[in-house]
Amino acid sequence: MSTFDVNKIRQDFPILHQEVNGQPLVYLDNAATTQKPQAVIDALVHYYTYDNSNVHRGAHTLADRATRHFEESRQTVQKFINANYDAEIIWTKGTTESINMVANSFLPTIAKKGGKVIVSELEHHANFVPWQQQCLKLGLDFIVIPATADGMIDMQEYERQLDEHVIMVAVTNVANSLGTIQPVEKIIKMAHAVGAKVLIDGAQAISHLNVDVQNLGCDFFAFSGHKLFAPTGVGVLYGKRELLEQMDVYQMGGEMIKEVSIEQTSFNVLPFKFEAGTPNIADVIGLKAAIDYLNAIDDKYPNARYEHEEALSNHLSQRATAFEGLTPIGVNNKRAGVLSFTLKGIHCHDVSMLLDQQGIAIRTGHHCAMPIMNKLKLPAGTLRASLSFYNTKQDIDRLFDALEKAKTFLG
């Protein structure tokens, strides 16, 4: 078997080979979005060059090709996350729309007097605010499970809150702000024991963990293509078939219609029931190309990209521990390639600007996760460096060289 060669992998990502502010780019903002391999870019160009047509509707060659590639993408995602049926894969704009769809179309169907919805303090706003607002609208209790100081869901408090009144639990698999991997298998099992349904926000997990929705047992799983080396503007909602059948329609228009008359309308079968209007055809096809690319790597180098990321994460933690004045957040737990941190006495935004001048891209701020930032008393948020399998130890070393310069300049 060939050896995993990260430098060879990097050749597949054209954006990495440029200078920013006169310095070679070091891209460490993968939790925000991942870069795209040439195979994905080529798939988009090929679609628009040769196959551009609307899907499911036209009786001509271009429409047939576009439809075939579009539905092959659905089957690819089904196999990638091990769903039972391709009809359980619903195309959305991203994780945010997927979660909003469940909050708005499923939650009302199970709402009951005295019902409770549980989220955690770690959630991205997209997995917090929709549930909060729906609870206000439907008269449900909105329960927020606190996080521990090292960035984990407080399982004792979660267990204490679980009872027969809980109808929905919505939690992250990997916290976007801290990278901490949550015990979602246990969370799901405990929720099901009291009859609750569970949605897992998989936006950060999908590119770092081997996701198997049947093994997880979750009722819904949401993720975005752009976090998986695919284009922006395409996402996935996985839902158990019987629950998707139970859900109300989310939007109305073309494609999701079965029959319309003056008096009434009937709606299409799954998955088309939730896919109103012309979909994001090109980017759905781009998502397939991204998964095909990852599958090819995993077939050639089994587990190698995960092992490479783990080695990088360990190196990142070691450098952080040795760096004077740096306070890491959530490092006592297994993390998915993220270091969230502050530098003593220096505002995060000032640091990030100086890093950018040295060609280094990281994220700064609240990371759309204000509740946990408030809990940790981090009014300015944190600096967040996040890894992917195309990063190198040299990228990490350049980050800390740049941090040393920033500390000298700003301190």
**CA 224 to CA 327: how far, in whole Å?**
30
CB 238 within 8 A of CB 98: no
Residue 119 burial by Cβ neighbours in a 10 Å radius (0-12, 13-18, 19+): buried
Burial category of 322 from C-beta neighbours within 10 Å (exposed 0-12, middle 13-18, buried 19 and up): exposed
The residue type of 289 is A
* Burial class of residue 293, CB neighbours in 10 A (0-12, 13-18, 19+): buried
A 10 A CB-CB count for 93 gives: 17
* Contact by Cβ (8 Å): 393, 312: yes
Q: Strands, DSSP E only, in 23-115?
A: 23-24, 26-27, 89-92
**368 part of the active site:** yes
Active site residues: 368
